[in-house]
Amino acid sequence: MKAYIFDNQPGDQRLPHDSGKEVGPEALEKLGVLYYRIPELADVDRLATNRGYKNRDEIKVSPTTMGDIYEAKVKSFFEEHLHEDEEIRYVRGGAGYFDVRDSSEEWVRIRLEKDDLIILPAGIYHRFTTDETNYTHAMRLFKDEPKWTPLNRSGDLDANQFRQEYVSTYLN
């Protein structure tokens, strides 16, 4: 895992966009973002049990697995959004970037590779993209029935209960 401030320069979203301003794991924790390096699937199973994740699935995001919808799908993942549930991703292969908003509204880019697991709290604004290799194989974990409902950022989304809870817990 490597985290840093996104440089906001134009160009392909799948490029590093590394500003050179590193962000450490402690700063991510202050945003509610939890990171684990987990090489053994049994340890993912233990984490899932401890956190109450009952369901999981796997997704391979690539042109080979998704065909003609790949580009549109990656662009949709990159729209700024939040979820009303935690977002848990365990990278099984390839790599990708999760960008999260910090307390000053800057993007923090988090590069994840094989054996990296990230937990984003409900209500955090974020987005995802593959890197320039165009391949991410990820396990998605869920507390209840698998669902993945992104709520794209809009003016009235700041009043969302999960966003309000996130702000009061992590940004105040």
| pLDDT for the residue numbered 82 | 96
Task: Quick: pLDDT tens for 91-148.
Answer: 999 999 999 999 999 999 999 999 999 999 999 999 999 999 999 999 999 988 776 7
| pLDDT for the residue numbered 144 | 83
Residue ranges for the binding site for Ni(2+)? Answer: 81, 83, 87, 126
| pLDDT for the residue numbered 72 | 95
Of the candidates 63, 50, 57, 58, the residue with the CA atom closest to the CA atom of residue 14: 63
Residue ranges for the binding site for Fe(2+)? Answer: 81, 83, 87, 126
Question: Does the domain spanning 2-171 belong to CATH 3.40.50.170?
Answer: no
Residue ranges for the binding site? Answer: 81, 83, 87, 126
Q: Are the CB atoms for 142 and 54 separated by under 8 Å?
A: yes
Global pTM value:
0.95
Residue 149 has pLDDT above 90, yes or no: no
| pLDDT for the residue numbered 13 | 96
Q: Are the CB atoms for 162 and 122 separated by under 8 Å?
A: yes
Mention every residue, 6+ apart, whose C-beta is less than 8 A from residue 82.
122, 123, 124, 125, 126, 150, 151, 153, 157, 160, 162, 163, 166
Of the candidates 164, 159, 90, the residue with the CA atom closest to the CA atom of residue 122: 164
Task: Give dist(CA 124, CA 126) in Å, integer.
Answer: 6
Mean pLDDT value of segment 59-82: 96
